[in-house]
Amino acid sequence: MRRRTRLLVLLAALTLIPVAPAVASRGSTLQHDADRIRDVGVTGVLARVTDGAGRSRSAVSGEAELGTGRAPRSDGHFRIGSTNKTLVATVVLQLVAERRMGLDDTVEKWLPGFVRGHGNDGRLITVRQLLQHTAGIYDGNFPGMADAAEYHEKRYDVRTEEDVVRAGLSHAPEFAPGTGWSYSNTGYNLVGMVIKAVTGRTWYAEVDRRVVRPLGLRHTYFPGTDPGIALPHANGYTRFAAGEPYTDTTELIDADASGGYISTLADLDRFQRALFGGRLLQAAQLREMTRTVPVDDSTNELWPGARYGLGLFARDLSCGGTVWIPGGDQIGYKTRLGVLTGGRRSAVVSMSTQLFDSVEVAFAQDRAATRLIDRWLCR
């Protein structure tokens, strides 16, 4: 893969970029930072920040639908992309706490004979490795859409976790399990299959039972084969190449364990604060989630010092300390979250646009979102 293409792929792999140190000033408002994201070319921006006392405020910028002049709503729904991976990892760690499975269980234990061929061997891959992207599962066959024509052709395609995993296993692994790091959506589909083998229920039924309902996330749901998004929502747009118009990519059937759920700012903020506040995981399991490994060279080129735990990234804040990032992308939408250890402060940004004009433009979009989050968490 050419370096330019590789960088664009990694920008869609869901994390934040370090920025210059945050400097407090009278003009450094939440609305100002939301507007700066819009000015990069993002059609609609939703942002929410919460302090240590649980006080929240929100800002919106741009349009909910191009050409209407209608502002997006701060309670709008959006696709959360790979924030989904944090939900999946939380379910696995709860099952570990219940002694129903172990992080170092092999895939073979739960899916005997399924991971075989082309150099893939489930006897050598652990659940922990799948969660931290060190299993080597090939992700190059994961379904994607390179242009507007392909989006319109494939947006209603239905596939199962098994379909996705079989496509990945038809190729040799990226590396021997435990010897490298490579972001793998396909690997998380395999985790979804393991959860079903352990519990007898789908991964999303377990997310609903263990996370969504206990936390009262009334606007968070798994869409299944429904391509729409509940109202209210901002339309999602993608610019697939420089000079092209925005393509409305709101409708999509792409709900699997790597990135399926739909949610809102308030619900995602409640989730991340509950997670790091100790309401969802016992201390031992939260330590496992936040035990990080280095990322690969290409990712580190984009985000120096970034690290990966179980289902989420970490990076250093400009003011010192660590921000935990259960963020994600799905066509038409980019979601960036940030929470401090203990859930003391948090931020959520939803952008209803993906910009693939160039590495530089994609980088600028991420950097603008990071600036907002970094500024708030460093207050």
Q: What angle do CA 7, 258, 313 make, to 5 degrees?
A: 55
DSSP annotation string for 140-167: TTS----SHHHHHHHTT----HHHHHHH
Neighbours of 242 (CB within 10 A): 11
* Residues ≥6 apart with Cβ < 8 Å to 159: 143, 256
* Residues ≥6 apart with Cβ < 8 Å to 6: 298
Task: Compute the distance between CA of residue 234 and CA of residue 360 in angstroms, rounded to an integer.
Answer: 25
Catalytic residue among 56, 58, 61, 82: 82
Q: Quick one: which of 80, 120, 125 has its CA closest to 105?
A: 125
Strands, DSSP E only, in the chain? 44-50, 56-62, 78-79, 116-117, 120-121, 237-239, 247-248, 262-263, 293-294, 307-308, 313-316, 322-325, 328-330, 333-340, 346-351, 353-355
Residue 82 annotated in active site: yes
* Catalytic residue positions, numbered: 82
